């Protein structure tokens, strides 16, 4: 397939994934303690933790799309350029959000003490260092958090380290059946490992690397499969995307459908890559693309505020009506979007521009 400069719907779907994670955390930390049973029974929300798998698959696709061809051979120039681009993509924004969390920790000692009653290692000095280094899931056992969503970012860093070698191998796979079978086996294997170890599906403390790697390779394979697609696949792309969304809505409502969700994600990205159909148009709309543009800071910045809101509601009384709780969650969402927007324009975009200058021009193969 001929490449375009970008795929707007891929940006848009990142925004959907970030909002899905937010809704999951709001359900778990606010709606469940408040006994808002209508909300807690919505299975698509309880499956919101799977949006992180979508992020991993997206990451593999986008990196293969943007950098895959740089690793036909493994050379120092492309490796250094890739490392600089990835560093400026994740570390400055993470440091900025960790600093904001630090302000909350300093100004809200009661909140910190409340959190440490159930999570003694959270907000410790050791946890701060691991968060700043994005090393939260490099070591087992877990030693606490400063900002829980960073666990997935620490796995992204490991994915970045592996990407040049994975891309080198992927570029040498020409047969479509291999591009389908390899990620399928990895996804099934990761699911089997998790369930064999009796790991609860939403538990991110264990099996994190296995989960990331299977999704990351899947995204790379989907990109390579799209790049060698023929006109027949292009004609069916819109139906593939629509069918994938319908399948996602179905499997997210089933108690036994979890193993199929990542396959639906992969099919959806494959369909969107052709930029055709209603689903692509919706995800390419201005509002959804904007959410995608701020999705990274939104994902990082939303968790501590929802945790603080839970603390506030629990420690200031239990007589809040569901209407008042809905209002509080609405304010939380607005604050998070506003903070994410500021971080996007004041931190993320400037460091992206600086990173491109630091990395220099693409190294010719």
- Domain ranges for the chain, please list them: 8-359
Distance between CA atoms of 229 and 237, rounded to whole angstroms? 10
For helices 51-67 and 258-273, what crossing angle results, to 10°?
Answer: 30
For residue 202, what pLDDT is reported? 43
Distance between CA atoms of 248 and 357, rounded to whole angstroms? 40
Does the pLDDT at position 201 exceed 50?
no
pLDDT greater at residue 112 or residue 230:
112
For residue 112, what pLDDT is reported? 95
- CA angle at 218 for the pair 209 and 14, rounded to the nearest 5°: 85
pLDDT greater at residue 295 or residue 39:
295
**Out of 28-32, 134-138, 164-168, 344-348, least confident range:** 134-138
Residues 6+ apart with CB under 8 A from 140: 206
**Tens digit of each residue's pLDDT (9 = 90 or more) over 224-260:** 999 998 888 899 999 999 999 999 999 988 776 678 9
Nearest Cα neighbor of 95 from 146, 31, 21, 169 is 146
- CA angle at 231 for the pair 228 and 236, rounded to the nearest 5°: 105
Per-range mean pLDDT, top range of 123-132, 248-257, 346-355: 346-355
Environment class of residue 342 by beta-carbon count within 10 Å: exposed (0-12), middle (13-18) or buried (19+)? Answer: middle
Residue 141's pLDDT band (boundaries 50, 70, 90)? low
Taking residues 127-150, what's their average pLDDT? 84
pLDDT greater at residue 114 or residue 6:
114
How far is CA 340 from its chain centroid? 15
Predicted TM-score (pTM) of this structure: 0.94
How far is CA 336 from its chain centroid? 17
Does the pLDDT at position 304 exceed 80?
yes
Nearest Cα neighbor of 336 from 11, 56, 19 is 19
- Mean pLDDT, the chain, whole residue set: 90
| 98-104 contact pairs (CB < 8 A, 24+) | 98/128, 98/131, 98/132, 98/146, 98/147, 98/150, 100/301, 100/339, 101/146, 101/147, 101/304, 102/128, 102/146, 104/304, 104/308
pLDDT greater at residue 309 or residue 43:
309
For residue 230, what pLDDT is reported? 85
For residue 94, what pLDDT is reported? 96
Distance between CA atoms of 234 and 241, rounded to whole angstroms? 11
How far is CA 311 from its chain centroid? 26
**Tens digit of each residue's pLDDT (9 = 90 or more) over 20-67:** 999 999 999 999 888 887 788 888 898 999 999 999 999 999 999 999
Nearest Cα neighbor of 265 from 56, 18, 23 is 56
For residue 204, what pLDDT is reported? 47
Environment class of residue 177 by beta-carbon count within 10 Å: exposed (0-12), middle (13-18) or buried (19+)? Answer: exposed
Report yes or no: 293 and 27 within 8 Å, Cβ to Cβ: no
Distance between CA atoms of 263 and 53, rounded to whole angstroms? 11
Report yes or no: 332 and 125 within 8 Å, Cβ to Cβ: no
pLDDT greater at residue 59 or residue 206:
59
Distance between CA atoms of 168 and 170, rounded to whole angstroms? 6
């Amino acid at each position: 397939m001929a490449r375009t400069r970008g795929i707007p719907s891929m940006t848009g779907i990142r925004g959907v994934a970030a909002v899905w994670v937010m809704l999951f955390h709001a359900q778990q930390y606010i709606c469940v303690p408040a006994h808002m049973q209508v909300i807690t029974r919505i299975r698509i929300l309880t499956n919101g933790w799977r949006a992180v798998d979508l992020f991993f698959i997206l990451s593999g696709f986008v990196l293969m799309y943007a950098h895959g061809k740089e690793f036909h051979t493994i050379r120092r120039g492309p490796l250094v350029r890739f490392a600089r681009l990835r560093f400026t993509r994740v570390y400055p924004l993470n440091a900025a959000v960790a600093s904001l969390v630090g302000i909350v920790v300093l100004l809200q000692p009661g909140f910190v003490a409340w959190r440490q009653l159930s999570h003694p290692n959270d907000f410790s000095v050791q946890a701060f260092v691991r968060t700043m280094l994005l090393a939260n899931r490099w070591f087992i056992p877990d030693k606490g958090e400063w900002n829980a969503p960073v666990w997935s970012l620490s796995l992204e860093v490991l994915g970045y380290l592996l990407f040049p070698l994975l891309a080198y191998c992927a570029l040498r796979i020409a047969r479509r059946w291999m591009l389908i079978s390899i990620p399928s086996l990895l996804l099934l294997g990761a699911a089997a490992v998790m369930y064999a170890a009796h790991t609860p599906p939403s538990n991110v403390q264990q099996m994190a690397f296995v989960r990331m790697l299977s999704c990351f390779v899947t995204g790379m394979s989907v990109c390579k499969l799209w790049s060698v697609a023929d006109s027949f696949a292009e004609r069916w792309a819109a139906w593939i995307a629509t069918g994938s969304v319908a399948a996602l809505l179905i499997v997210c409502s089933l108690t036994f459908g979890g193993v199929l969700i990542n396959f639906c994600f992969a099919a959806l990205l494959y369909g969107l890559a052709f930029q055709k159909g209603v689903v692509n148009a919706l995800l390419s709309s201005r509002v959804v693309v904007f959410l995608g543009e701020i999705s990274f800071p939104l994902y990082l910045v939303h968790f501590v505020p929802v945790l603080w809101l839970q603390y506030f509601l629990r420690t200031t009384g239990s007589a809040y009506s569901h209407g008042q709780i809905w209002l509080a969650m609405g304010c939380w969402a607005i604050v998070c979007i506003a903070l994410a927007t500021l971080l996007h324009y004041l931190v993320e975009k400037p460091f992206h521009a600086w990173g491109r200058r630091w990395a220099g021009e693409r190294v010719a193969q």
